[in-house]
Structure 1
Amino acid sequence: MPLVEITLAEGRTDEQIRALLAEVHSAVHRSIGAPEANIRIVVREVPTKHWCAGGVTLAERAAKAKEA
């Protein structure tokens, strides 16, 4: 039973998340032939204040980009 875990910074619409789930589900089914009912996908959305890259949070990076 495949389990796919996806972590994203928050900010996508429900429709975007649903489209992602559908595409990933199809890719898993196509690529390894897993029965559709057995495919599990978990999407975690992380607040941009809780995601850091290079010592800067995504929230800080976005704020800096708006200033420029």
Structure 2
Amino acid sequence: MPIVMVNIKEGRTVEQKRAMVTGMTKVVSETMDVPQSAVRIIINEMKGENFAIAGTLVCDAPAK
């Protein structure tokens, strides 16, 4: 049973997450030769205060 963990910054919609897990489940099922029912996906959402890029917390970075 493949288990995929995905870390993303919070703010994605349920529709975006639904589309992601649908696509990922299909790809994992096909590449690992397992039924889709065996694929597990765990989504971890991080607040900007818990994620940094190049030494700067995302919550402190200027908006792009």
| Structure 1 and Structure 2 fold alike (TM over 0.5) | yes
* 1:2 Cα offset (Å): 0.3
Residues paired across the two proteins, number = 64
1:65 is aligned to 63
Cα distance in 2 for residues equivalent to 1:14 and 1:41: 14
CA-atom RMSD, angstroms? 1.2
* SS of residue matched to 1:65: coil
Aligned sequence identity (%)? 30
Map 1:1-68; keep pairs closer than 5 Å.
1-61=1-61, 64-65=62-63
Shift >2 Å, 4+ stretches: none
For structure 1, which runs of at least 5 residues remain unmatched after alignment?
Answer: none
Q: Which has the larger radius of gyration?
A: 1
TM-score by length of 2: 0.90
* 1:35 Cα offset (Å): 1.5
Say which structure is richer in helix.
Answer: 1
